[in-house]
Amino acid sequence: MNRDYPLEKVRNFGIIAHIDAGKTTVSERILFYTGMSHKIGEVHEGETVTDWMEQERERGITITSAAITCFWTKVGEDPTDQANKTRFNIIDTPGHIDFTAEVQRSMRVLDGAVVVFDGVAGVEPQSETNWRYADDANVPRLCFVNKLDRTGASFERSYQSILDRLSKKGVRMQIPIGEEDQHEGAIDLLSKKAYRYSGQMGMEVEVSDNIPENLMADVEKYRSELIERIVENDDEAMSNYLDGNEPSLEELKKLLRKAVIANEVFPVMCGSALKNKGVQPVLDAVVDYLPSPVDLPAVKGINPRTEAEEERKPSDEDPFCALAFKIQTDPFVGSLTFFRVYSGSLEAGSYIYNTTTGSKERVGRIVRLQADKREEVKKVFAGEIAAAVGLKETKTSHTLCDEKAPIILEQIKFPEPVVAVRIEPKTKADQEKLGIALNKLADEDPTFRVETDDETNETIISGMGELHLDILVDRMKREFNVEANIGRPQVAYRETIQKGSEAECKYVKQTGGRGQYGHVKIRIKPIEEVEEGAKIAKNVYREDHFEFINNIKGGVIPQEYINPVQKGIQEAMERGVVAGYPLVDVSVDLYDGSYHEVDSSEVAFKIAGSQAFQEAAKKASAVLLEPIMSVEVVVPEKFMGDINGHLSSKRGQIEGMEPRGTDMQTINAMVPLSEMFGYTTTLRSMTEGRGQMTMEFDHYAVVPNNVAEEIKAARG
C-alpha cells in the first residue's frame, strides 16, 4: 500500500498564542474553510478565559484533538483538482500558561507554526514564552495579528511589539485596509493585491487591484522593505536587485520560503478571524512558506545498543521511527497515543518496539482525527501524525521504532510542578474510581503528579498552577464521575545545599544469627552545569537535579552494593533535611567504604548511603528554595501606584513598566508563588474589575530566613 499523498504536499503545523489572542476562533475558521466543520463554532465575548475553558471541557469538539487532518486548496486554484490540495495536520496548543507542557511537547513534533497576536495588546507574556519554545525547537513561524476590528487595535503597534519583544526578523507581508470598525481586509505587499471578504462566513475572497488611494504610498514603501529583506538572504538575487532587476513574484516566493524555513524571516499578516477576514491568506502562506517534512533535516537520536548517534531521514524507505507526544483518554476507544512518524511506515496490526522502556507492543488500530470523526487507516508513512489505539506501556515522549533498527530520540523535557493540593474522595464509591481517574490524567499530562504522603496516607496532586489543578479536578468529575474534596493549594518548596561536605556511615547490626554490615564514605557538593552535548564519564549517573559518581576502586565495595547506596541516597534526598522537602541539585561522590563477606547486604548499604547523605547534607548549609513566578499585571494607569505597592508588599521585585494601549499600564514583576494564591480576586477588587494578570514559573530562589522559619514551624 502506497502513501495517498506526496510528502511535499504535507504541512504539520500548530497554532500558538497568548490566551486572549483569539486562537480558538482562528482554529474554528480554518476548520470551516477547509471544509472540516459544517457549522462554525463561535467563541463570542472576545474569547474570555471561561469560554476557552468551556471549549477545553466540552470533550469531542474538534479543537481538543491533538492533531486534526484537513485539506486546503489555495485561493484562486481549482478545488476539484487533487493536485492543488495540501494536507494539513494541525496540532492544537492551549493558550494558558498552566498548560505549558502542551505547547512544549507540540513544538517537538511541529514543522511550522502560526503565531496569533491580539491586535490591541500585541505581544503578551505567553506569546514570549511560546516564541522561546519555538526558538528552542527551531520551528519556522508565520505571524497573524488578529482582532484588528476591535476598538484600540493597531497593526503598526502590534508589529512593533513583535520586533521589540520577539525578533527583529519579523517583516510585514500585508498591511490592513482600515482598522477598528473600518477594517475591510488587507493588501498583500508582494502581489500588490487587495483582499476583501464576502459571502457566508467570509467564504468568498475577492482579490483585486483596487487599493485605497491613501494606502498607495505605504504599499510602495513597505513592499520595497519586504523585497530587500527577502533578497538579502541570497547573494545573486541581492546583486541583481541592486542592479535594478527586481525578481519575479515566483522567484520572490521561492526565496522567501527558503528564508522562512531557515528561520531568517518571520512574515507578519493581519486580519480579524471573528469577522471572517484574513484567515485564507494565512492558509495560503502555510502552503507557500512553511516547510513540508522533506524540507527539514533528518532527525537525530542515539542507538541504545552502540550508544552512537544515528539519523533518520524523512523517507518511507528508512527504518520506522516515531515519537509519542500525547496520550489522550477517549470515552469510546480507551487510550489514544498520538505519535509523529519521522521515518519509515507503520501498519495497523504490526508490532512496534518502545526503545525507552525496552518493551514490544502491538498496534491494533491506527486512526486519524478529522474534526469530530475518526478515520481508520491501515498504514501511516514518514512525516505523518496519527494516533494508535490501546498502547499500554507507551507514555509521552517515548520513542517507537523498528526493533531491528533501534533508536532513542531526545526526550521532551517538562517543567516540575509548583503547586500541590491534598485530594480525597467524597464517598466510599468514589475511592476506587479516584485512583483510576488520577492515573489516567497523569498519563495524559506529564506536569501533573500524583503521590501519597507516607505519614498521613493522603493523596497529593501537583501541577503548574491553581487553574491547572482546577481543570483536572473538573475533568475527573465530568469524564470519570468522581466527586472529590480538595485542600488548600500548597507550594512545592525544594531544598538544596550551598557548599561541599563529606560524611561516613558504618551501619553495623548484630542480632543473633546473621548481622548487617554496610560502610560508605561520600563527598557531596552543589551540582555543576554540564554543557549541552558534553560527554558524561562512564562512572557518572546523571539525571535532572542529581548526579552520582562511583569512585570505588579495587572492589572495596562490591559492584552489587553500589546501586543500593545510590537508591538510599536518593530516598534521603526525597525526605530533605531542612523542612522535609526534596533536595535538588546535589552531586554525590562515593569514594570509599568496606564490606563484610557474610554480613553485608543490599539493605545495609542502602541504609548506610541514606544516613551518610543526611549527615553530609546537614553540614553543607542546606537551605529552602521557593518557586518565583514571572508576573505580568495589566491595570488602568490610575491604579498603578497601588498595585506596585501591593506587589512589593508581597516580596515582589518590580522589573519594569510600560504603557499598553491608551490608558493601560503593564507591570512586570518577580513574585514568590506563596504570595500569589487568590491574587486575581484581590487585583479585581483593587482595580474596579479591570485589572488582569498572568504568571508563569520562572526559577527557584532561596527563601529568606524569617519566612523559612515560619515554613519549618508549620511543618512541625
Write the DSSP string, 618-654.
Answer: HTTT-EEEEEEEEEEEEEEGGGHHHHHHHHHHTT-EE
pLDDT (0 to 100) of residue 173:
92
CA atoms within 13 A on the CB side of 190: 23
Q: Which grid coordinates belong to 398?
A: 517515548
Distance CA 602, CA 597 (A): 13
Q: How far is CA 691 from CA 17, 129, 300, 687, in A?
A: 20, 21, 46, 6
Q: Give the total number of structural domains in the chain.
A: 5
On whether the CB atoms of residues 620 and 501 are closer than 8 A, the answer is yes
Q: Which of 443, 412, 438 is nearest to 336 (CA)?
A: 443
CATH code where residue 156 lies: 3.40.50.300
pLDDT (0 to 100) of residue 290:
93
- In which domain, by residue range, is 84 found? 7-213+265-295
Total number of residues shown for the chain: 716
Beta bridge partners of 73: 85
Q: How far is CA 377 from CA 255, 354, 385, in A?
A: 36, 21, 12
pLDDT (0 to 100) of residue 45:
37
CATH code where residue 675 lies: 3.30.70.240
User: Of 458, 492, 526, which residue is a domain's last?
Assistant: 492
On whether the CB atoms of residues 613 and 568 are closer than 8 A, the answer is yes
Pair 520, 602 in one domain: yes
Pair 42, 168 in one domain: yes
Residue 514 placed within a domain: yes
Residue 599 placed within a domain: yes
Over its C-alpha atoms, the chain yields an Rg (Å, rounded) of 28
C-alpha torsion sign, points 56, 59, 65, 68: negative
> Mean pLDDT in runs of 10 for the chain (716 residues)?
74 81 75 63 37 37 57 82 84 60 71 89 77 84 91 89 88 90 88 85 82 88 90 87 86 91 92 87 92 87 84 87 82 79 88 87 83 76 86 84 86 76 83 84 81 75 80 81 83 89 87 80 82 63 84 87 91 88 90 86 91 92 90 86 90 86 81 85 81 81 90 78
CATH code where residue 433 lies: 3.30.70.870
Distance CA 94, CA 104 (A): 10
Pair 505, 593 in one domain: yes
Alpha helices per DSSP H over 23-169? 23-33, 44-47, 49-57, 100-109, 125-136, 155-165
DSSP per-residue letters across 517-552: EEEEEEEEEEPPPPPTTPPPPTTEEEETTEEEEE--
Pair 617, 636 in one domain: no
Distance CA 414, CA 449 (A): 12
Pair 68, 166 in one domain: yes
pLDDT (0 to 100) of residue 222:
92
Pair 145, 14 in one domain: yes
Pair 120, 196 in one domain: yes
Distance CA 198, CA 315 (A): 42
Distance CA 308, CA 127 (A): 37
Pair 387, 477 in one domain: no
Three-state DSSP class for residue 294: helix
CA atoms within 13 A on the CB side of 386: 25
Residue 361 placed within a domain: yes
Pair 694, 608 in one domain: no
Residue 697 placed within a domain: yes
Residue 233 placed within a domain: no
Pair 41, 139 in one domain: yes
pLDDT (0 to 100) of residue 98:
53
Please, is 294 exposed, middle or buried when counting C-beta atoms within 10 Å of its C-beta (0-12, 13-18, 19+)? middle
- CA–chain centroid gap for 74, Å, is 30
On whether the CB atoms of residues 626 and 703 are closer than 8 A, the answer is yes
Q: How far is CA 137 from CA 134, 140, 263, 413, 695, in A?
A: 5, 9, 11, 12, 23
CATH code where residue 526 lies: 3.30.230.10
| CA–CA–CA angle 172, 118, 416 (5° rounding) | 110
Residue 254 placed within a domain: no
pTM score over 0.75 = no
Distance CA 134, CA 127 (A): 10
Residue 531 contacts by C-beta under 8 Å, 6 or more apart in sequence? none
User: Of 279, 295, 311, which residue is a domain's last?
Assistant: 295
DSSP per-residue letters across 20-62: TS-HHHHHHHHHHHTTS-SSPPP-HHHH-HHHHHHHHHSTTSG
pLDDT (0 to 100) of residue 703:
92
Residue 249 placed within a domain: no
Pair 55, 96 in one domain: yes
Pair 119, 171 in one domain: yes
Beta bridge partners of 132: none
Q: Which grid coordinates belong to 381?
A: 508513512
Distance CA 419, CA 491 (A): 5
User: Of 409, 436, 458, which residue is a domain's last?
Assistant: 409
Residue 382 placed within a domain: yes
Strands (E) located in 396-496:
399-401, 408-409, 419-425, 449-452, 459-463, 484-486, 490-491, 494-496
On whether the CB atoms of residues 389 and 329 are closer than 8 A, the answer is no
Q: How far is CA 462 from CA 1, 432, 540, 576, in A?
A: 46, 20, 30, 18
